[in-house]
Structure 1
Amino acid sequence: MWIGWAEFDLLLGDVHSLKAKRAVLRPLLAGLRRETEASVAEVGAHDLHRRAVVGVAVVAASAGWVGDVLDRAERLAAEQPHLVLLSVRRRLRRSEDD
């Protein structure tokens, strides 16, 4: 088994409240879940209006499949017109590793 995860550091567009931030993130998170079938959540920058860190995690039998899913998630995030993908951090490991 392979485990992969990525963190996307995002700069949100015209957002001036946490309520507006949720309104921008909710459809992004739902779309990532639907298109990748991965686990997706906001994992950082919770108290900042214009920043968000979104985590995507996937478990699969092959490293190639994990990479494909994370690539697809990154493309989907980068294509969003109302945000800027500032950076991506990725990890990939075998489940037997300690």
Structure 2
Amino acid sequence: MWIAWIEFDLLLGDVHSLKEKRSILRPLLADLSRRTESAVAEVGAHDLHRRATVGVSVVAAEPSHAQQVLDHAERLVAEQHPEVTLLSAHRGLHSSED
């Protein structure tokens, strides 16, 4: 079993409140979850209006499948959601036998 994750550091557009931040993040998180069939959550920068840290995790039988899912998630954030700017992405991959 392979466990993989990716963590996105995002800069949000013209956001002035946490309510506006949620209105941008909620559809993004739902889209990532639906289109990658993985677990997605805001995992950091909770109190900052214009920044967000979003995590995506996946469990797979093969490491190549896990990497494909993470690649797809990164493309979705970078190319399909112009309301956010992807500043960085950090990945991890572990086997259950590590």
Q: Does TM-score exceed 0.5, indicating one fold?
A: yes
SS at match of 2:74: helix
Match of 2:60 in 1: 60
TM-score for both structures, normalised by structure 1: 0.98
Residue 96 of structure 1 and its aligned partner are, at CA, apart by 1.2
- Structure 2 residue runs of 5 or longer lacking an equivalent are none
Match of 1:24 in 2: 24
Q: For 1:48 and 1:95, how far apart are their aligned partners in 2?
A: 35
The one-letter amino acid paired with 1:30 is A
The yes-or-no answer on 1:90 pairing with 2:83 is no
The one-letter amino acid paired with 1:82 is E
Q: For 1:71 and 1:4, how far apart are their aligned partners in 2?
A: 11
Residue 54 of structure 1 and its aligned partner are, at CA, apart by 0.1
The one-letter amino acid paired with 2:48 is L
TM-score for both structures, normalised by structure 2: 0.98
- Structure 1 residue runs of 5 or longer lacking an equivalent are none
The alignment yields a C-alpha RMSD, in angstroms, of 0.4
Give the number of equivalent residue pairs.
97
The one-letter amino acid paired with 1:3 is I
The yes-or-no answer on 1:40 pairing with 2:40 is yes
